[in-house]
Chain A
Amino acid sequence: MGRILLAAFAVILVLLLAMNAPTTTSPTSGTSHEIQPAPAEDKASLRTLQARYKALSKQLAQLTPNQPYILVDTARNRLYVKRQDEIVLDAIASTGSGTILDKPGEGNNQWVFDTPRGEFLVKSKLTNPTWIKPDWAFVEEGLAVPQNAVDRAEQGVLGDYALGFGKGYFIHGTLYTRLLGKNVTHGCIRLNDNDLKGVYKLARVGTPIMIF
């Protein structure tokens, strides 16, 4: 009787062990996050690729600016100064209106008042800037474009500072602070006095400006 019980116990034990044994079948879902046993050749490829992936990730990280950079979101009219992932300054801005104006006497040529998208650099830093009004400023107001350069100069409309980023585009101040947060400019980026001062202090000639 005892032998029979012992045999039955052994059979049950073997069955239980078999049920709990790990299966070697491959996952049916095929999702990529399950670790599958790989042959030796694959393991070597895996190690090589892991090292390559690490090296490339590092290489990409090294391309990010070490110094502070300016980020402009034209859809939401925000300007940030960032250092790596840290936001150093967060400002409400005004960017390009996207409207158009015909160039007189030039057929279908038009000015398009967009803030340019892409990557730029701070090319100049000015204090007490004078606005040299471009042709469109006169055409828009229905005025004749002056022949004399002196007639284009206007003081006090750009604020205390201006940071140029090429092709006549600037980050500057504004008299119309109630319009901050809206797309109202001719392509330049407007800030209030305090934020402009902050950006002027943080940015250097060569600071990257990313605009999207």
Chain B
Amino acid sequence: MNFCAILLLLALAAPGWGKEPEAFPDLNPNNLHELKEATRVLEEEIKLAARPQTYLLIDLSASTILIKGRGIGLHQIPIATWSAGPQEALKGVHRLMARPPVVRRKIEPGAAVEQEPISVADMPTDYVLTFTPPLSLTVVPSVGNDGLFRSAVLLGKVGWHNVQDWVAQFFADQPVEPSSYLRLTLTADHAQSLAWSLVDGMALVIRRSSDK
């Protein structure tokens, strides 16, 4: 009888994480740093989800990009690998200012043949997105069959950013803050899918990872 009473008490005292809605199922509720980051992201996201818009959540902890609206995950894109500049600069809400141009086909009035529509396959696989507050998000495709060339391009991009930062700091009179950047490696299909779904001015919030 006493044993049953103890079990009942334990059940009532248990935190019950599983029953409540959880924004980040991968979160370890006993890790202070993870909790701090998750609450910060949630505070930002609630402001975005309260308005009629779609927005991006890049979850570096779970290695996913989510296109969301009203807090609902509408579309999920896995991240193969990522790297980032100073993580402090990834805080807050960023707005998309520039994205890769889309080559659109022009309809000729009265033409007998219909113009070919654009599709996801017309989207780039390798591009840079510019956000404000300043954040440069580089998307590169993961290494496929054309491995050597892709690897060289990827290394070149990563190296070039570092050289730019180094040169800026070397010639500056005053100490220069290293520019904030995020580099994501996605499969070619996923890179195109992301490029397709972007909207000018789209909001971005990033959940940083404590693993790096």
**Across the interface, which residues of A come within 8 angstroms of B116, CB to CB?**
99
**Across the interface, which residues of B come within 8 angstroms of A123, CB to CB?**
none
**Across the interface, which residues of A come within 8 angstroms of B111, CB to CB?**
142
Quick check: A140 and B107 within 8 Å, CB to CB? yes
8 A Cβ contacts from B133-157 to A = none
Quick check: B42 and A74 within 8 Å, CB to CB? no
**Total A-B contacts with CB atoms under 8 angstroms apart:** 149
Partner of A56, one of B39, B107, B211: B39
* Known contacts A33-B28, A56-B23, A60-B42, A75 near B71 by CB under 8 Å: no
Q: Mark B60-90, 1 if CB is under 8 A from A, else 0.
A: 0100000101111011000000000000000
Size of chain B's interface in residues, with CB distance under 8 A?
55
Quick check: A139 and B32 within 8 Å, CB to CB? no
Interface size, A (range): 35 or more
Q: Give the contact stretch, choosing among A9-17, A43-51, A153-161.
A: A43-51
8 A Cβ contacts from A79-129 to B = 97-102, 112, 117-121
8 A Cβ contacts from B32-50 to A = 32-36, 38-39, 42-43, 45-46, 49-50
Partner of A210, one of B28, B46, B72: B72
Dominant secondary structure at the A interface? mixed
| Chain B contact residues, CB within 8 Å of chain A | 15, 20-23, 27-36, 38-39, 42-43, 45-46, 49-50, 52-54, 61, 67, 69-72, 74-75, 102, 104-107, 109-111, 115-120, 122, 193, 196-197, 199, 210-211
